[in-house]
Structure formats: structure tokens, C-alpha cells
Amino acid sequence: MERDGGFDVVVGNPPWERIKLQEQEFFATRSPMIASAPNKAERQKLIDALEAADAESADGRLWRDFVFAKRAAEAASEFARSSGRYPLTGRGDVNTYALFAELFSRLAKQSGRAGVIVPTGIATDSSTSLFFSTLVEASRLARLVDFENRERIFPAVDSRQKFCLLNIGPAERASFAFFLTHTAQIAQDERRFTLTPSEIARINPNTKTAPVFRSRADAELTAKLYARAPVLIEERSREEGGDINPWGITFQRMFDMSGDSGYFRTPTQLEDEGWRRDGVDRVREATSGVERRVPIYEAKMIHHFDHRWATYAAGDARDDEEGARDCTLAEKQNSDFEPSPRYWVPEDEVDLRAARVPSALKSAVRQGRGEAKGRRKTGGDAQESGRAAALKAFVTWLSGAFPALEGRPAREADMVRLFGREQDWRGALKVSPERFLLDPKTLTAGADMQRETPRTADDLVLIGEGPNDALALAERMIAAKQPRWLMGWRDITNATNERTVIGTAFPKVGVGNNLPIWYPGENVDGRLAAAFVGMLSCLSFDFTARHKVGGTHLNFFIAQQLSVLPPSVFSSADLNFVCPRMLELTFTSRAMKVWAEDLGYIGRPFAWHEERRAQSRGELEVFFARKCGLTEE
């Protein structure tokens, strides 16, 4: 019924479809060969071949159909993003269910109600967080009841699909229920709980998305944990003093398994191209010296306290994911054994991506090497272009470093001292010759660089003592700012799995996008990093994560809002308890030697003993539970 200002009641079950064209789905019935290509790069080659086909042939007609479908999807997506009709949900990979949910919320008058059946991601995903947080802050979230389709409420929908009844309307407290499998469970009091906007904000301060609790008891226990251990990173504006990030954590997805597949080589390809084994790496002679390729780790290869969880059969020519198997106990008891990956990637590309320097400096190095996208410069032209870009990146970075390190803005004397008078840093920044004055855009970019990749006082010394050539200095900085080891977690997960967060420390290798990396700040040494990895693997930490994950991905925005004890709570006595146990659990192969050194140990790897490992893990569980303020009850 429509009244002034909107409808009293709006209800519906909108379509759940991504607007972006899915190539594999499009070609699944039209061309199985294209749909089953081993990776995106190979699939693109086959698609490109369609374009060259005769216009009246079957391939030519398939090309026209593909182009039409792709343009239609792009046009619809552009409309959703740019028309102004969907300011809260017209972003990212747009899904029709989110657009309809926003439309229904606008159609209902302020005192009216809207009800919609949509995937639970409407309340938990990053792409819809702006819409959901707007409902929360406006006190217009009345009720959200989440279902799993295991009992086939919708017979034609996958049994793993999570969906919800979203009720929009005025409410001081929102009512929630999660993980229901049939409608009769809505009446069970123990499954229902309520939260105010401020309570939601305390648990998810950055996104205001819904925490996913199974019961009222879960909600109460989570509140206790967050009172003791706040979120990992609380986002704040510059006016509010910037983000609160005690661990100095930054995130990275190193290699995209689809978009970066041009870097990948399989065992068969390596053999055909003349690469030979060097341990788990591959090497070959080149005019510039010895080229090296290193493994690329995927999420399935790691587990708690274990970077040797799964392997691909050594020398297996298969390029599909089914080639992986669990490592055997005998393999884990061999400290020389390392898992074989599905692909190998260039070591210098791993070094460039892993370096903890601003992306602008990495781009400058790529320009200098003649690798920049969309550029045809080579030789001296490429180096000159890279040199100017490197100088600009350095000065911009310094504009953010000096306020952070010395509490004052960067001065002209700083640039002269660090770079000398012969480098045209003024020209690189287009600074007036008459006076040194950085524009607000440069200062903002410098502050962002310093926050994402903090420069230390030691870095200033390295710059001052480094080569006069900006490009050579950039190469030296990239070599100096390499991590000695990595730590990350499996992106693919589910709140219904036995464990939601699975992560560990592992050697510095190439890393696929399904294994996101978290880099600790400069203030976090090896011993503190060991405490962080131990905390990442404990049940207390996992408990809070289960209530954040509404879908099948543990994304950055979820990781930022996990309940994490700050480094300041760990005393020397605490680290003396944690580190020996972490060392014995994680240093079981020679590849983790530098990790062990950073924990203060220079001996041989520890033997893999199942019973002893279980005891150490149990002791760490108790330690972190007590640190979080939990009792035996």
C-alpha cells in the first residue's frame, strides 16, 4: 500500500545474479574446450582465436555472441555504478540482489517496512557494507534471519548457499538469528539475540556489518573477548589521528592465480625450457647470469604450524588442482623435504612484489627495466623514465616519513642532504625553483605511503649512503626491504568448518591470492611475530572469526576486525613461554632456518613428533585463552 513518502510494506524475492560476465559459465555449453582451459591466460588465447575466425563460421558467430554478452554486462554494471540510483550497492562486482535490497529500502516509507529474501552476504560482505551500515546507523535494521539451505528450503539452490530474511524498518535494537536450517527454528529463543547499533560498531567498527552468532551465549562470550582484545586494525580518519594498528599489519595478495598466470610455469614447461632442479627451486643459465624460479604456494599447502601440509607430486605434469595430496608423516619427519608446488615463478618478480616499499617505487623500477605496462621505451629511455619516477617516489615517501619520524615536515635541506644537489628532485615533483613547497596532493600521497610501508631512521641512513642514481637506489632499497619469511592465512573458509582461520609462517616464496599475507610492522621482532602466529592459530581467536565470516572468504576487511591482543600485553616471561613451543612446532624443515634465527635459535630443525606437538599446541591454547581473560567455564 502506498502512502505519502513511500509504501507501508514492500516485499519480494529478487534475482541473485552477478552482473559481471563469467567467462567459464558463458562457454560451459558453447565451447567446453575454452571453459576448461587450465588458467585465465590460456583461456584468453582461445578466446582471442575466435576473433580471428571467419565471421560466418561457428567460431565467428560464437565470438559475436560473446562480445554482445560482455558488452551487455558491462553496460548494466556501468549503469548500476554511475547512474546514481544505487549509491550504496552499485560498487565492486555488482549483484542484482544488493541493488534490489537498496531499492526496496528506498521504496518503503520511514515508518514502513520492507522484507526481502537475499544471500546473507548483504549483512557480512565488504561490497554491501555501506548499505548495511547505513541501515544500522539509521536504526532501520529490524530483523535478519539467516538460513543454510542444507534441508533444501529452496530445492533448486545449492545446499551450501546461505540466505536470509532481511526486514527493514524502524527499530532501536535489531533482532538476529543465524545458521537456521528450517523455518520452525525461528521460534527457538536460544537462537535469537538482539544488538544495538553501538554494540555492532564495537565488534565491527570499520564496516558495521553483522556479527554471525549461533546463539545468545555466543554473543555474550564474544562481547567479553572484544572487551579484552580489540580489533586488529580500527580504521580512523586523519582528523581522528589515523588508524589504530598496534601490530603495524599490512596485507598483500602477491600473485593473482588468474591475472598473473603468464608468470607461471608447470613442471612440463620448465623441462621444455631447459630449467634444472636446485632443491625445490629451478635454475638455468642466461646472458645476464643465473635465472631462478621459486615455488608459488597456494592455500591448500599450509595448515596450523605447518607449511608442509600438502604437495603436488614431484615432477607431475598435471596442471590442475586435483594433483595435490597431503604430505605424509614420513615426509614431515624428513627435515630436508619441502612440498612441490603446482607452478614456479621468477624469483626477481617475487622479490619486487614482496619488498616493503611503496608501489610507486616498484612501478619506477619496472619502468627502468622496460616492464611498465603500456610503455614501449627500452634501453636508455626506459632507464631515464624509471629514474625520474623513482626520484619522485622517494621524495613523496620522505614527505610522509619526516612528520612520522621527527614530528616536522620535510625540508629542502633534507632533500639536499639525502639526494645531493645533482639529482633533479625538483623537476621530478615539479617544485618551484624559488622555494621548496610540496603541494597537498604530494603530502597526502606521502602520508599514505608512510602508513602502508613505514620508513625507519635506518632507511634514511641507507638513502643518504646509497648511490646517487635514483634508479640504482630504488633497486638497493627493494633488496634491503625484503621479508625473511612470510605469514598468511587461507582465504577460502567457512564458519561451519571445523576451523575458520588456518594460517602459519612459511618461507619467502611466491604466494597465490588464495593465501593472503600479513606483514608485521617494523616494531614487531621475530619473537613477537611468533606470538602473533600462535594467537592466529588458537581457538579463542578462531571463535571470534567464526562470527565474522558470512560467506566462504576470510577477506582483508574481516581480518582487520578480528579480536587480537596487542603486542604490548606480551611480557618477556610470556614470550619465553610461547617462543620455544612455537619454534618446535614451526621449525621442522631447513627452509624455516631464518625464521628460527629470528626467534633466537641457530640449531637444527626439530623432529616431528605427533604427541609432543599435540601437547605444545594444548599448552598454547591455554596460554592464549587466559590472555583473553577466559576461565575454564
pLDDT digits (tens, 9 = 90+) for 88-101: 999 888 899 999 99
Residue 377 has pLDDT above 60, yes or no: no
How far apart, in whole angstroms, are the C-alpha atoms of residue 453 and residue 246? 15
Minimum mean pLDDT range among 187-196, 246-255, 314-323 = 314-323
585: pLDDT strictly greater than 90: yes
* Residue 79, pLDDT score: 92
Contact 7, 20 (CB under 8 A): no
Average per-residue pLDDT for the chain: 87
Q: Residue 319 above 50 pLDDT?
A: no
- Residue 318 reports pLDDT greater than 50: no
Mean pLDDT of 21-46: 85
What local confidence, expressed as pLDDT, does residue 456 receive?
84
Cell output for 87: 549509491
Give the pLDDT band of residue 317 (cuts 50, 70, 90).
Answer: very low
Task: Please say if the pLDDT value at position 1 is more than 60.
Answer: no
Q: Are the C-beta atoms of 579 and 530 separated by less than 8 Å?
A: yes
User: What is the average per-residue pLDDT within 170-188?
Assistant: 90
| For range 475-482, the mean pLDDT | 93
The CATH classification of domain 2-15+95-228, taken from the options 3.30.70.60, 3.40.50.150, 3.40.50.1000, 3.10.25.10? 3.40.50.150
- The pLDDT > 90 percentage for the chain reads 47
Whether residue 374 is predicted with pLDDT greater than 50 in this model: the reply is no
DSSP strand pairing (174-180 vs 250-252): unpaired
Instruction: Classify residue 282 as exposed, middle or buried by CB count within 10 Å of its CB (0-12, 13-18, 19+).
Output: buried
The whole-angstrom separation of Cα 41 and Cα 39 is 6
Give the per-residue pLDDT at 380.
67
- The whole-angstrom separation of Cα 251 and Cα 242 is 17
Question: Cα 374 from chain centroid?
Answer: 27
418-422, 520-524, 597-601: the lowest-pLDDT one = 418-422
* Residue 595 confidence class, pLDDT cut points 50, 70, 90: very high
- What is residue 388's predicted lDDT score, i.e. its pLDDT? 85
pLDDT tens, 328-340? 999 999 999 999 9
- Res. 445: pLDDT tops 50: yes
pLDDT-wise least confident of 252-256, 320-324, 533-537: 320-324
> Residue 592 is placed in which grid cell?
624455516
Q: For residue 568, how far is the Cα from the chain centroid?
A: 25
CB atoms within 10 A of CB 83: 10
Strand ranges, E, within 393-548: 485-489, 503-507, 510-511, 517-519
In the chain, residues under CATH classification 3.40.50.150 are: 2-15+95-228
Helix (H, G, I), strand (E, B) or coil at 161: coil
Q: What are phi and psi of 486, to 5 degrees?
A: -125, 160
| CB-based contacts of 300, cutoff 8 Å, min separation 6 | 309, 310, 321, 324, 490
User: If DSSP states are collapsed to H, E and C, what string results for 450-494?
Assistant: HHHCCCCHHHHHHHHHCCCCHHHHHHHHHHHCCCCEEEEECCECC
Whether 135 shows a pLDDT value over 80: the answer reads yes
Stretch 627-631: mean pLDDT, rounded? 87
